[in-house]
Chains A and B, each alone.
Chain A
């Protein structure tokens, strides 16, 4: 097995985090055992398993798979949770942690984990269950003879294995430090503080910039240095921001490897095409989508792509194709995983959801809504529980992880043609181009990306109460932004500027007084105590030092559309 150094070390970093969490969970479990914590433990085991197999640490994968089985038995109530089991879980944590730190030095390292699994088995039997014996196959009878190390005492084995594999170790050590760039895990909080400080600096900078107009005597030199330092501040901010951004290639590479290995183990022939690896994504966002993406890709191979015979029978080429692509959109990144497999059967999904009583038997759903069912907790389309997927933990975890990142996931599928998962994630959103506009004597901010276009309103048609406007032949309703931002109509209001916002196929015109200009703003999230009011996205500091409120124009357009559709029902 050849290892890709960067990928394995990346996995080790993540595994360390997971193992830390494992320890915390065990400690909490010792106080009160509840299913939520066991569930999290199970997901950690599942993630480590997936990750370890993906990077080629199969021994680790095999071990954690056994542990995962054990946790499942506890969760299903077939085995009572006891102090003894908890201490075994903690021992597992220790073993994993040692394992990972040894793997960092020697990728082919593997301790003898079987005694620990056997002790689980003994503990489970001690809990008086007959199921466990059948569910966990005896290690001594089946797997043990295959092991290269028949010793039982683990620590000795560790030492011996290390001695016996000097060649491999040397090989790893002699690998040139070609990567050169060591990854430093910076606490995101520190980075944010740095960003905040620099952001503040840039605000003061723009205050000076505006003040210079009032000190004409200050002369050319000051103007020049102010100009320069403004340039520098911007550069500084961009650099600090870019610390967080990383090309998505490393993630794609991992997924690619995943596909290759998994397809081999499932006996399927699958090619991978990767597009857009140079698209950059925020580091935290990237770390958080590793597991969801892995799940999606594994699902695509396990459930999507058919076996070679089945493919030939339906007139497709024997080799399946999985395409993983990333594209940079204005304010977001679109990641797409598509396969050319058998597609999702809407009728089957519906039947399954009804069987599992996830939806009521008489629910009428559109095809699109049916596809969304697979994101429900406890839904799994696999006929049997496989090693790869099919425990029903995957897709709901995927959705939740993406939602935490303000992302969305959408499924497109056609029976016989294939399925594609479209994920949309916000890029780092702390600095945006925005338009400063006036409304009833107040200044507000709207991100340029939220607007379709901005026009000067010259003429409008009135249809009863409702104002309309003809935009290149399309009739666009006009609504006053003041109605949604608790402003009374100011008689002095000019109402000249119309923001056109596109919602689906509809266009809505939102009326403001005037536009003052366009500038880059640093988005400040509002504190919990003042956030969440309707129509407001966040705050920023304007160039005159005043706070500026960022208006959620699309949300206002959506509310208007909802209001008129309700009126339609009432009428």
Chain B
């Protein structure tokens, strides 16, 4: 079996799955070494980008998924109709930023930074599936520690949390954003 064929197999598996597929599952199906599968997936991702296919392979942590390209969304929306999107409020975005950069973090840490209560915004972010309770702090009251989820990474076009741009004051972090396409 050559590389091309293996990539084709993975592509069909990603298609059937729809959901993100773990690299370990791919390695098991192909009966291949994990390290080689990583290389194969990198190549596959590059191929899809290079050939400017309609679908891209996105990586979030150790999972891979097929997705459309954002630059074709105008045409997709011509077909399915305009998609309405509920954008997060400024308060939610601030809270999310604190959690993303400071995780794992408690509610009182967030409140100390933002200077306002964060219960409501945390609930909204949890319902969106962007954050989750990852642990509890071993202090009185055992407060929950919050962290971001894979869905958060996917929704913000990040392959892993290390891809977040550095938190520099005065600098527009939009300039140094990581791209996973």
Q: Do A and B come from one complex?
A: no
Residues of chain A whose beta carbon lies under 8 Å from any beta carbon of chain B? none
